[in-house]
Amino acid sequence: MWKQFANQWALVTGASTGLGAEFARQLASHGMHLVLVARRGELMDELATELHTKHGTQCLVITADLSSPGEPQRILAEIAAQGKTIALLINNAGFGIVGEVHNADVDRILTMIRLNVSALIELTYLVLPEMLQRGRGGILNVASLSAFQPVAYMGAYSASKAFVLHFSEALHCELRDLGITVSTLCPGVTRTSFFDIAGAPGWLRKHAALDVDYVVRKGLKALSRRRQHCVPGWRNFLLTLLVRIASRRRVVKESMRFFRPQPPGKHWRRSRRRFF
């Protein structure tokens, strides 16, 4: 599959850091050129220089806040104006929010939904017509282990990722005979800035986590094998089976132990258990 994508263009959202930057690195090593999208342009410029030096990768850096309406169209228009065609879309940008319902910041929650859900859908539908015309293309949507169940204190986030998983799995089946692969990557806890941004600083240090290079490798392998979804890590995979057997009430109650906000001065409990 990677031979087929060599010298073609991939669009990676959330490419300034974390999983997105690693997607860019691994795709560049497969010979792809990259459109990098996120808000922090300087980080993407540095990444573009690194990839050009290492692999001769051409990069187009587009600074954009994907939670703002109209940004997906602007990005695709800029790509078209440069005469580039997207062969692979990695919808990775996203963030989570951990917190109690009575402290909820509704504006921030809606911003999260616009990023995690609306921008992902819009970018998907914007790149699809060209892919359908060519009869080939790939889309990898990043959901989460939390897509498989409701998660207390992260209700809106887990629901947004359930949306991503359901939407992407439906598209996978609709498009697979038309030459287009849509796969969903559902990572469990991974070493990035995700939990600091979500409002649970220090949480990552107390829990077992996977490395970004492993998670990204698994995601790209799933895409190349035309798999519907992928859950990196066998313990995470087992969890997705367990939540199907356990009662729904039990599943949500268990999740409360992981994300119940800690009183000031108290740190997140150490646990070797993986969640998402």
Applying CB under 6 A, the residues found at the interface with ligand NAP are 14-20, 38-40, 64-67, 92-96, 115, 142, 144, 187, 189-190, 192-194, 197, 276
Residue nearer to ligand NAP on the CB measure, 16 or 149: 16
> Of 86, 41, 87, 36, which is closest to residue 59 (Cα–Cα)?
36
Residue nearer to ligand NAP on the CB measure, 132 or 242: 242
Sheet with 229-230, strands from edge to edge, namely: 59-63, 33-38, 9-13, 86-91, 137-142, 180-185, 229-230
Residue nearer to ligand NAP on the CB measure, 19 or 35: 19
Q: How far is the CB of 166 from ligand NAP (least distance, A)?
A: 16
Q: Can you give the three-state secondary structure of 120-158, one letter per residue? A: HHHHHHHHHHHHHHHCCEEEEEECCHHHHCCCCCCHHHH
> Of 164, 197, 150, which is closest to residue 90 (Cα–Cα)?
164
> Of 198, 95, 99, 96, which is closest to residue 153 (Cα–Cα)?
99
Which H or E element spans position 271?
none
Q: How far is the CB of 132 from ligand NAP (least distance, A)?
A: 25
Expressed in angstroms, the distance from the first to the final Cα of the chain is 29
Q: How far is the CB of 268 from ligand NAP (least distance, A)?
A: 14
Residue nearer to ligand NAP on the CB measure, 57 or 67: 67
HSE, side-chain direction, 13 A CA sphere, residue 147 = 26
Angle at 82 between CA 14 and CA 216, to 5 degrees: 25
Residue nearer to ligand NAP on the CB measure, 64 or 88: 64
Q: How far is the CB of 174 from ligand NAP (least distance, A)?
A: 23
Q: How far is the CB of 10 from ligand NAP (least distance, A)?
A: 15
Cα distance between residue 226 and residue 216, in whole Å: 15
- For residue 13 the two structure tokens come to 């959202």
Query: Cβ contacts of residue 60 below 8 Å, gap of 6+?
Result: 34, 35, 36, 78, 79, 82, 84
> Of 44, 72, 74, 70, which is closest to residue 59 (Cα–Cα)?
44
Residue nearer to ligand NAP on the CB measure, 37 or 171: 37
Q: How far is the CB of 233 from ligand NAP (least distance, A)?
A: 11
The verdict on whether 157 is a catalytic residue reads: yes
**Residues labelled catalytic:** 157
